[in-house]
């Protein structure tokens, strides 16, 4: 669902240090608020949000057992890290809840345990709205609709997420983010969904059994939608960045280009210029 915006380039030593500062801070906050096992659930976009809204400052170097005792860096807790770990787990909770609605084998006690912890930070009404959107997503996927219609619950979920941590933002940002995530997931999961006979938005919207053999117009629409959304996301997120603007821009530009190229290769696997 998420995890597309990260270090999709060879970082300099300075960049790696700065990224580790925010990444390790989220990791330690997850440990504190949810437990050790949840440290593996880090979502890269949440790291980016933290980087956008908080200044880089002094850090403590330590050996990280989670990463083979490699040197890592820890927050001095000079700003609120808790909200980022709770946002991270809200997204994870959404994914597990979505699996449950799809009748996948997810332990009910695990969902209940995470929800109980989330209620320490989020209003019950917010979690109810979040769950309703996930159920809505499951319901509309039973119908034959256009790909844009399938993405609407994802757009509304992004509206909730952005409202939690940004005072103001462009009204297009949740729309383009929700659409891009939904579209990219559909491309990457296509072959797996075909093999397992699972729902896939591209498969159902366009009656496809193969992306590489689909009509040129369908391929053009996928790339056009990706380009429109990625350009809006990049520009608007940079505008929202109070700190680390140049680094945020580099992460966004490289990540969005990286996944655009991967999608292009899925659509045109025999292209000699890829």
What burial class does residue 234 get, using C-beta atoms within 10 Å of its C-beta: 0-12 exposed, 13-18 middle, 19+ buried?
buried
C-alpha distances in Å from residue 205, one per residue of 101, 144, 185, 199, 264: 21, 6, 15, 10, 19
pLDDT at 70: 65
Within the chain, strands assigned E span: 60-64, 70-74
> Is the distance from CB of 49 to CB of 84 less than 8 angstroms?
yes
Instruction: Kindly give the parts of the chain with pLDDT less than 50.
Output: 1
> Is the distance from CB of 215 to CB of 196 less than 8 angstroms?
no
> Is the distance from CB of 3 to CB of 44 less than 8 angstroms?
yes
pLDDT at 68: 61
Nearest Cα neighbor of 98 from 128, 52, 144, 137 is 137
> Is the distance from CB of 241 to CB of 165 less than 8 angstroms?
no
pLDDT at 21: 85
* Digit-coded pLDDT (tens) for 196-238: 999 999 999 999 999 999 999 999 999 999 999 999 999 999 9
pLDDT at 1: 45
Q: Residue 62 pairs with which residues in a beta bridge?
A: 72
Non-local CB neighbours of 45 within 8 Å, separated by 6+ positions: 2, 3, 4, 5
Tokens of 164: 């939690």
CA distance 26 to 33: 10
CA 124 to chain CA centroid, Å, is: 23
pLDDT at 62: 60
The three-point CA angle 15-253-43 to 5° equals: 65
CA 177 to chain CA centroid, Å, is: 9
CA distance 166 to 241: 10
CA distance 265 to 146: 23
């Amino acid at each position: 669902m998420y995890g597309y915006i990260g270090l999709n380039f060879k970082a300099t030593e300075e960049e790696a240090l700065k990224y580790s500062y925010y990444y390790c801070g989220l990791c330690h906050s997850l440990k504190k608020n949810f437990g050790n096992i949840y440290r593996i659930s880090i979502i890269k976009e949440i790291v980016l949000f933290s980087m956008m809204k908080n200044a880089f400052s002094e850090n403590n170097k330590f050996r990280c057992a989670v990463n083979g005792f490699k040197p890592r860096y820890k927050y001095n807790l000079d700003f609120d890290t808790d909200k980022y770990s709770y946002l991270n787990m809200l997204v994870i909770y959404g994914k597990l809840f979505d699996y449950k609605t799809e009748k996948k084998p997810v332990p009910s006690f695990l969902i209940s345990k995470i929800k109980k912890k989330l209620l320490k930070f989020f209003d019950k009404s917010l979690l109810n709205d979040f769950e309703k959107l996930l159920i809505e997503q499951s319901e509309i996927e039973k119908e034959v609709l256009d790909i844009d219609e399938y993405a609407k619950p994802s757009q509304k979920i992004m509206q909730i997420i952005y409202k939690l941590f940004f005072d103001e933002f462009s009204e297009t940002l949740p729309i383009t983010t929700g659409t891009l995530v939904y579209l990219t997931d559909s491309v990457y999961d296509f072959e797996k969904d075909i093999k397992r006979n699972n729902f896939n938005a591209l498969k159902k919207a366009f009656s496809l059994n193969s992306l590489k053999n689909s009509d040129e117009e369908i391929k053009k629409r996928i790339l056009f939608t990706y380009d429109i959304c990625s350009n809006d996301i990049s520009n608007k997120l940079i505008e929202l960045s109070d700190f680390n603007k140049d680094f945020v821009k580099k992460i966004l530009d490289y990540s969005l280009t990286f996944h655009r190229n991967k999608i292009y290769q899925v659509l045109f696997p025999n292209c000699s210029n890829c």
